Each structure stands twice: as structure tokens, then as C-alpha cells.
Chains A and B, each alone.
Chain A
Amino acid sequence: MENLELFEGSLEVEKITNGWYDKYKNSNYGAIITFIGVVRDENKIDGLSFDIYEPILNNWFNSWQEKAKELKAIVLMAHSRGDVFNHESSYIAAVCSPKRRIALELIDEFVEDFKAQAPIWKYDIINGDRIYAEDRSTAIKGYGLLS
């Protein structure tokens, strides 16, 4: 699962994105698009904190890798677990594709589907407390099966 990397705490953005670029720049991908998520200072938070359920995240990521492969592209992702403070990065996604248009469309779909389906839970860090970000969370497709 080398194209999906999980880290404790904030992401070392330059190291991760430079690493991806160095690894794939000679693979004849004409377009490499990187999306970097940065924690905003808002709602009096000191930062965000994350729980991840890895087995289902791996399945989700693998299905995206298969989808990208059909388009001769690849997807890459890095995410934090635990605490990430304001103005640091918790999430990086990237697409490498021979074609620009495919890369642009795929990064959009990949990031949006990540938001809606990836088994990651977000908490606001406020005065040292960890508060579930319920109002910004999305129920996973098929929710309510036991209701």
C-alpha cells in the first residue's frame, strides 16, 4: 500500500510531495496534480484530530487505484492520524496521468469521494478537548441499515 501513507500528526508536505514527484517524474505522466489540505484557524479551534479505520480505508483506496488504472492513471494519498494544529497539513491527494483532462477530473472525484466515504473521523481540538465534528460529517453510503 505504498501509494497510501498514514502518519502520526501533521504531514511533512514538502517531503511527501517531493518524494512523489521524484518517484513518478520519469514515468511519462504528463500531468501530476497535488491537492494539499491545510487546517484553517476558525471556530476557535487549536487544530483537528483524526481517527482512521485502516482496513476499510485500504479497500476504498484500492478500488480508486483500480478505477485510475483503467484510465492509465494512478492516485496517491497521505493522511494524518491524531492531532494536527492550525496551518498544518492533514491530507494530501494526488493524481498522475498521461492526460491533463483525466488528471483534473480524477482529482475532483477522488477528493470528493474521499470526503464522503473514507472511514476517517474528525474532531475539533478546543481548549485541549477533542470534540467530534458531527455537523461537518457525512453518513457513509448505505447508512441506517440498523435503524
Chain B
Amino acid sequence: MNISQIEIHDVISGEIVRRDLNETELADAQAEKAQAEKDAKAKAKTEQVLADKRQTILDRLGITADELKTILS
């Protein structure tokens, strides 16, 4: 993974620090990213289950999603 630098601007001192992430920050960032990817996958899976359920019902009714929208509009 290509790791970028971070930058900190201190308003009081005017000091600007540009540096690499330290070990703790890097570990936190990677853990956060891994969690975000896990959450996204879980969300996509949930949405897919819902989509499958919708399609099952539509198939049972013998209509398409567009036809259902027309009925409900």
C-alpha cells in the first residue's frame, strides 16, 4: 500500500509539520479502513438479499420492477 503523508498546521505557533504516520496512527488508519471495507461488504450483502427478495416477489407476481412502479405511481 502506498502510504501518504499527513500535515498539521498550528494556528498559535504558526508551525507546519509534514510527516509520515507513526506506527500507532498507521495501525489505527489501517484498522479503520479494514472496518470500512467490512462494513461496505456487509451493507452490499444486505442490499443484495433485499434485492433478491424483491425479485422473488416480482417473479411470483409475474411483473417487472418497472411495471410495479407504474402500478404504485
- To the question of whether A and B form a pair in one complex, the answer is no
Name B's A-contacting residues (CB within 8 A): none
